[in-house]
Amino acid sequence: MHIISPDTPALYITSVARDRLPVFRTDTIKTVTCKALHEARTSGDFAIYAYVIMLDHLHAITDSVLKPSKIVQYINGIISRRIIDHLKQHGHNASLRKLQRESGTRGHKYSLWDHHSNIFQIFSEDMLMQKVGVENLFYIFHQRELGHHIVLECRCVFDVC
């Protein structure tokens, strides 16, 4: 059981789609993303306590059993691979063109993410509940009411607390 403390913080991760593209707007892509999050969690053997998928970004709260960069690598890498594969398999060429980039050192043609995920450490269960309960959920519903964002998916997965 993970106990959140200054020595073993939880991580609040924000990943933003490239150029703030509204990647997560369809139910199909939301489902692909949710399955990819589960795959990342099981592949990396880390816990995801909560996540929310917005139109052009996602937030996730995880444990810190791995280095933060490694957790982001699992989450962003698997989501990216699954979404790009889905777009290719279903002939969504216009969407793929929006994600196209110059081939980098590893030969990737597409990029789903801006490459600067934001990682914030959570040092107590009170901070965790604030992020999950007050800040995140209030923010989401408040933004929906004001019409600034359309909330597409909100799931809380309390694996370990």
Distance, CA of 71 to CA of 74 (rounded, Å): 5
Asked if the model's pLDDT at residue 151 lies above 70, the reply is no
H helix intervals, 13-102: 27-44, 68-89, 93-99
- State the pTM of this model: 0.80
Q: Angle between the 68-89 and 27-44 helix axes, to the nearest 10 degrees?
A: 140
The type of residue at 32 is V
Strand order in the sheet with 10-16: 118-122, 10-16, 57-62, 48-53, 153-156
Determine the average pLDDT of the residues in 136-140.
42
- pLDDT for the residue numbered 79: 97
Pick from 39, 36, 41: which is nearest to 65 by CA? 41
Closest CA to 40 of 21, 66, 22: 66
Total residue count of the chain as it appears in this document: 161
Has residue 49 got a pLDDT over 90?
no
Domain ranges of the chain: 10-156
- Residues 100 and 139: their CA atoms lie apart, in Å, by 32
Which of 5-14, 46-55, 89-98, 128-137 has the least mean pLDDT? 128-137
Residue 45 confidence (pLDDT) above 50 = yes
CATH topology of domain 10-156: Alpha-Beta Plaits (3.30.70)
pLDDT at position 153, please? Answer: 38
